[in-house]
Amino acid sequence: MDVYIKGIGNISPQNTIDSNIFLDDIVNHDAGFLTSIAPIYKEFINPIKLRRMSKLIKMGICASKLCLKDAGIENPGAIITGTGLGLVGDTEKFLNQVLDYNEEFLAPTAFIQSTHNTISGQVAIALQCFNYNNTYSHRGFSFESALLDGMLLIKDKDAENVLVGGFDEITPEHHSIVKKTRWVKNETIKSLELLDHKTKGTIVGEGVGFFSLTGEKENTYAKIKDIKTIYKPENKEEIEAKISQFLNENDLTKDDIDLVVLGINGNVDTDDIYYHLADNYFNTNYAYFKHLSGDYHTVGAFALWFAANTIKHQRVPEVARFRKENFTEKPIKNVLVYNHFREVDHSLFLLSQ
C-alpha cells in the first residue's frame, strides 16, 4: 500500500507555519544557533494550559494541530514521534536542581516534562487519542524510525492515517556544551553563509515537524515511496551501492531523480560525501537546507517538509539550490533526500508526485 503526506505542521527557524507559502521570506540567523519562529500559541492552545508548558511542548502541540488542520483530520489513527535529545530545557532544569540543591526540595514538573515521550503523550491528551503511540530516540534515526513505524502501520492497515513528528530544541546552555565537540562551529556565522565557512562543525538548529500520513491519494502533497536507514557504511562506494539498490527496489534509477536534497551542513570534515554524490554520482538538480534550519538530530523532518513542498509547489526556491550554475528547470516528479548524522546514521527518503 502506498503512503502519502496529507498534511504538514512545521515550526522551524524559517517562516514555515503557513502551508501555502514556501520559503518566500527567508530569515538569516546570526545568533550562533538557529531558534524557531514561534507562532502565536494562544491561537492554538488554551492560555491556562499554555502557562504550564515548556517551549518544546508548546511547539509540539501547535505543530500537531497545524498538521491535522492541514490534513483535515480530527483524530489520528496513531501518534509517533522521534527526538534526538528530547526536552533539553526541562532536562537541564531538573538536572541543575538535583545537582545544585543536593537532591532535596525538588519540584517534579521539569522531571515529568523531560521524558522523550512527553510530546507524543501531550498531543494524545490534547486530541484524546487512545490509539497506538510511540516515541523513538536514536540520533540521526529518531525521526526516520518514527516515519518507518508510521508507514508500516498504514501498509499493514493497522491505521488509516498516522501523525508522525520529529522534534528537537537547542538552548544556550546546551549550545555551550556541544560547542566543545568537533561537530559544532566555534565561530558565529550568518546561517545563509553556511557553506562559505570551510571549517569544522556545523550550526545547530531546532524545529518541530509533524506529518499526517495516509493511504489515500486525494489532496496530498506527495507520495513517500520508501525510506531507508544505513548504519555506519564503510565508504563512499557502500553509500553509492545502497542508494542504487534503494532506487532499484523502487523501480527507479538515479537518472529518474529530478531533485536530490542533500544534508550538507558546512562541516569540512563530513561534507565530502555530499559533494562526491553531486559531482560524480548523480546528474540532476540539487538542493540543500541546513543553512535554513540548522542541523539537529531530527532535521530529517525539515528535509521531508522541504522535499514534499518542492513537489507540491513544483519549485525549488532559489535560496535552497545547490550547484546553482547547473540548475535546470524541469518538472519535479521524483525527489531523493540523502542526509547523514555525523557519518554514522545515514538516511534516504524517496518521494514522488
Partner 1 sequence: MSKRIFVTGIGIISGIGNNVDETFESIIQKKSGVTEIKYLKTNHKGKIPVSEVKLSEDELIELAGLDKNGSYTRSTLIGVIAANEAVKNAKIDNIKEYKTGLISGTTVGGMDKSELHYKDLLTTTKNIEFIESHDCGDSTERIADSIGVKDFVSTTSTACSSAANSMILGARMIKNGLLDRVIAGGIESLTRYHMNGFNTLMILDREPCKPFDENRQGLNLGEGAAFLVLESEELVKKNGSKILAEFTGYGNSCEAFHQTASTPEGKGAYRAMKEALDRSGLKPEQIDYINAHGTGTDNNDLSEGRAIDKLFGPNHPKISSTKAYTGHTTSAAGGVEAVLSILCIQNNMIFPNLNFKEQMKELNFSPVTELLENVKVDHVLSNSFGFGGNNSALIFSRY
Which residues of this protein are in contact with partner 1, per CB under 8 A?
Answer: 79, 83-86, 94-96, 98-99, 102-104, 106-108, 111-118, 120-122, 124-125, 127-139, 141-142, 145, 149, 152, 155-156, 173, 176-178, 180-181, 229, 231-232, 297, 344-345
242, containing H or E segment: helix 236-249
Nearer to partner 1, 165 or 320 (CB): 165
Nearer to partner 1, 15 or 97 (CB): 97
Minimum distance from residue 93 beta carbon to partner 1 (Å): 12
The three-state secondary structure class of 224 is strand
Nearer to partner 1, 115 or 244 (CB): 115
Q: Nearest Cα to 281, choosing from 315, 238, 320, 330? A: 238
Q: Are 55 and 169 in contact (CB under 8 A)?
A: yes
Minimum distance from residue 127 beta carbon to partner 1 (Å): 7
Minimum distance from residue 129 beta carbon to partner 1 (Å): 6
Q: Nearest Cα to 151, choosing from 84, 229, 80? A: 80
Nearer to partner 1, 51 or 180 (CB): 180
Grid coordinates representing 115 are 521524558
Minimum distance from residue 305 beta carbon to partner 1 (Å): 22
Rounded distance between C-alpha atoms, residue 245 and residue 26, angstroms:
36
Rounded distance between C-alpha atoms, residue 310 and residue 353, angstroms:
10
Minimum distance from residue 98 beta carbon to partner 1 (Å): 5
CA within 13 Å, CB half, 260: 29
Q: How long a stretch of residues is the chain?
A: 353
Nearer to partner 1, 20 or 130 (CB): 130
The three-state secondary structure class of 302 is helix
Nearer to partner 1, 31 or 107 (CB): 107
Minimum distance from residue 287 beta carbon to partner 1 (Å): 27
Torsion angle of the four alpha carbons 34, 206, 185, 84, in this order, in degrees rounded to the nearest 10: 170
